[in-house]
Amino acid sequence: MIRYHLLDKEIASMRRTSPGIVTALATTGVTLMVAVPAGAAEPTPRFLDTQYDSPGSDTRTNDSLNAEWISLVNDGASAVNLSGWKIVDASRAYTFGNVTIAGRGGKVRLHTGKGTNSSTDLYWGSGNYVWNNTGDTATLLTRTGRIHDTCTWTQRSGRATVAC
């Protein structure tokens, strides 16, 4: 089955780059359509939540570093292998190894400090905090470097975690 979507952004882009063609389409009554195969949706891991402020004083012990974390959830029906995907802040990047996030609500949590990876808990291995308590943006990049999702927060007194 093929669904058809009218892509307004594409038309707007054509108006900028090829105004003559769009005018011709408009005057002839042609509707620009692009085929999108059903079921070809993007894989769906996304940011779920983050404990960007490790509870208590930020003393940089490994336990404190690991109490800073950010989580992904996969709402899609299929498991997704995250190998080569990245989570980045303004200056640092974590690259996923051969990690699969289960489908239908599967989760993985990336801790800031050092530890032994399991199927659900991963460790950045950083000796310092990654996520700023004063506000920050986490970005999830696919293995081709495309921005897949972001999670942004601001500082709020008394809050250590936030839903993305």
Residues contributing to the site for Ca ion (CB under 5 A): 52-54, 58, 68, 129, 131, 133
Give dist(CA 110, CA 125) in Å, integer. 10
CB closer to Ca ion out of 68 and 126 = 68
Beta bridge partners of 136: 153
Give dist(CA 48, CA 50) in Å, integer. 7
DSSP state of 135: E
Give dist(CA 124, CA 70) in Å, integer. 11
> Cβ of residue 131: shortest distance to Ca ion, in angstroms?
4
- Position 93, amino acid: A
> Cβ of residue 50: shortest distance to Ca ion, in angstroms?
9
> Cβ of residue 75: shortest distance to Ca ion, in angstroms?
26
The residue among 49, 52, 67, 47 whose CA lies nearest residue 156 is 52
CB closer to Ca ion out of 21 and 163 = 163
Write the CB contacts of 6 (distance below 8 Å, at least 6 apart in sequence): 31, 32, 33
> Cβ of residue 103: shortest distance to Ca ion, in angstroms?
30
